[in-house]
Structure 1
Amino acid sequence: MFSGSIPALATPFRNGELDEAAFRAFVEWQIEQGSSALVPCGTTGEAATMPKEEHFRVVRICAEQAAGRVPVIAGAGSNDTRVACENIRAAKEAGADAALMVPPYYNRPGQEGIFRHFEAVVESCDLPIVLYNVPGRTVTDIQVETMGRLANAFPSIVAVKDATGILSRVSAQRAACGADFCQLSGNDETAIGFMATGGRGCVSVTANVAPALCAQFQAACLAGKYGDALALQDRLFALHLAMFADASPGPVKYAIGRVLPDFPTELRLPMVEPGKEAKLVVDAALEAAGLV
């Protein structure tokens, strides 16, 4: 259902408010540059600081601008199961093609609680679900067995964004979930290994800044042209790391501003502008990738 380079979109703010014109232009640029789907209101999009009305306004704008040319996967997770059910329904109403859903964070449920959480979400709405397994942020890991249970029990759970960084998970999840279950890397720097073992694409931070190169990289992987993919990996590797040279999405917004000067790089507290050293790291990586 999903494949290729899928940017986890940064959200442009100006004077504390969503800059709709800048966001529409950014979505358009991403599609023109070859991105194969879009993720509004994820971690990189600063969804954690968005009120619900604004959150799903961003999703609606993204869907309107995409106009069916590429799928829109809306961030919609919550650690409150009732809110997660409300969110996925709101995502569908806003025009999203699928929802990106984290397991409950902070509460730290066990594996049965994770299963029951997603069972309730599935029963509340028929929108396709991309699981988002990111233990580094949620402190909750969807174990392979649980993912297999979910994928086999609920046809609307169609994919995972795997940000565990454990490359062996790809093969283990293929065995548990089936080869047709769509696995998307959540880490740019290890995406080449992820793709080689059965991945179908990457929900990418770097694609905010280098969408064409990331799309070319994914196309090479999907075509089995790993020599070409490795050359692009070498070109982009420093940039992948630079996106986390300071607290995200500070570095990525700074980098977008270097590539697209009209894009507002404002962040919402508690996120702040990256420090001087981080900016120098980003500058060097942009130059190495040939983007500035």
Structure 2
Amino acid sequence: MRDYQEIKSKLRGSVTPVITPFKANHDIDFDTFSSLIEFQLENGTHAISVTGTSGEPSSLTEEERVEVMRTAYKTINGRVPFVPGTGSTNHDETMRLTKKAEEIGADAAMVIVPYYNKSNQQALYKHFKTVADAVEIPIIVYNIPGRTAQNLHVDTLAQLSKDCPNIIGVKESNKDFEHVNRVLLKCGRDFLLFSGIELLCYPMLAIGGVGSVSATANVLPGKVAQMHDAWFDGDVATAQKLHYELMELNDVLFKDTNPAPVKAALGMMGKIEPHLRLPMDLPSEELQNEIRETLNKYGVSLQYV
């Protein structure tokens, strides 16, 4: 049986869910994508994820998702752990993408609770177990009830962690803080708990979480990474300070559906051409102005004002 302790010891801190940049014709801008990953690594990000919620996976074809994973893997080149999102509302597609992530060389795969289907707990157990059993790559379950219309119960996750040695953790985009406390109680304190809710990134560290997958890290990767570094160094005061410093930006970046505000911000910073594929679009002009004002407060250099 494969030993997953090494990757469990490395996979922690700020895992940035890098957005997928598009050109004006809505083709993927792979050169810009690689530059975004370099921007993350230059600013201390601890691991990279792609084709998760922030990467607009439902707007990508299966082939595009594979190419995004392949490009990210080559760009990262082993410098930090690589954890692509491989989940889908379609079970067979999830299987193919997770196997492809393993083939490409990803360190782990993040698999979302299937959206739209509203599967019962038994079906969710079968789905995740079938995926996990088909690969040796470690699996991080991704629970985001606000976008999937289904919450993976703690008991279901605990059974999966017991039955599938390669299910090593969970990203909880779950505002129910009692729920996330019970994850570590039922799954064990060595189970990897990541926050997917920006305002809970610091609190989850306090209960035994190992990091976060925060869309805000696309914009201010340094501050998000520093908050985790401070916590791991035992500098609680600095971690708390950075938690509150990030709060205003966290708030404004989630006044519309992720990743639209993040892409607007990165466009203002000159990092990308701010395009989304329909049925998603940029935020209203009013919100874009608020994002611009917030970035100015943080001293972010803007190329397009």
1:4 aligns with 2:16: no
Residue 194 of structure 1, aligned match among 178, 197, 204: 204
Letter in 1 for 2:240: L
> Is contact 1:167-1:193 (8 Å) kept?
no
**Residue 262 of structure 1: CA displacement?**
4.2
What pairs up with 1:59-138 in 2 under 5 angstroms? Answer: 59-138=69-148
Q: Distance in 1 between matches of 2:116 and 2:280?
A: 19
Aligned to 1:245: 255
Letter in 2 for 1:202: S
> Is contact 2:170-2:193 (8 Å) kept?
yes
Q: Distance in 1 between matches of 2:156 and 2:234?
A: 30
> Is contact 2:174-2:180 (8 Å) kept?
no
TM-score if structure 1 supplies the norm length?
A: 0.96
**Residue 225 of structure 1: CA displacement?**
2.0
TM-score if structure 2 supplies the norm length?
A: 0.92
* Residues paired across the two proteins, number: 291
Aligned to 2:67: 57
CA RMSD of the aligned region, Å?
Answer: 1.3
1:268 aligns with 2:277: yes
Letter in 2 for 1:107: N
* Secondary structure in structure 1 of the residue aligned to 2:199: coil
Q: Distance in 1 between matches of 2:88 and 2:20?
A: 19
* Secondary structure in structure 1 of the residue aligned to 2:240: helix
1:286 aligns with 2:295: yes
**Residue 43 of structure 1: CA displacement?**
1.0
* Secondary structure in structure 1 of the residue aligned to 2:49: coil
* Secondary structure in structure 1 of the residue aligned to 2:67: helix
Q: Distance in 2 between matches of 1:6 and 1:289?
A: 21
Sequence identity (%): 35
> Is contact 1:16-1:268 (8 Å) kept?
yes
* Secondary structure in structure 2 of the residue aligned to 1:38: strand
> Is contact 2:36-2:271 (8 Å) kept?
no
> Is contact 2:133-2:164 (8 Å) kept?
no
Unaligned runs of 5+ in 2: 1-7
> Is contact 1:41-1:75 (8 Å) kept?
yes
> Is contact 1:170-1:198 (8 Å) kept?
no
Indicate the larger mover: 104-113 or 156-165.
104-113
Unaligned runs of 5+ in 1: none
**Residue 82 of structure 1: CA displacement?**
2.1
* Secondary structure in structure 2 of the residue aligned to 1:74: coil
* Secondary structure in structure 1 of the residue aligned to 2:53: coil
Aligned to 2:4: none
* Secondary structure in structure 1 of the residue aligned to 2:70: helix
Following TM superposition, where does structure 1 have runs of at least 4 consecutive aligned residues deviating by more than 4 angstroms?
none
Q: Distance in 1 between matches of 2:256 and 2:63?
A: 29
Residue 168 of structure 1, aligned match among 154, 172, 178: 178
**Residue 80 of structure 1: CA displacement?**
2.4
Aligned to 1:47: 57
Letter in 2 for 1:235: E
Q: Distance in 1 between matches of 2:64 and 2:111?
A: 18
Superposed CA offset, 1:43-84 (max 9, x none): 111111101111110000000000011111111112222221
Q: Distance in 2 between matches of 1:71 and 1:43?
A: 19
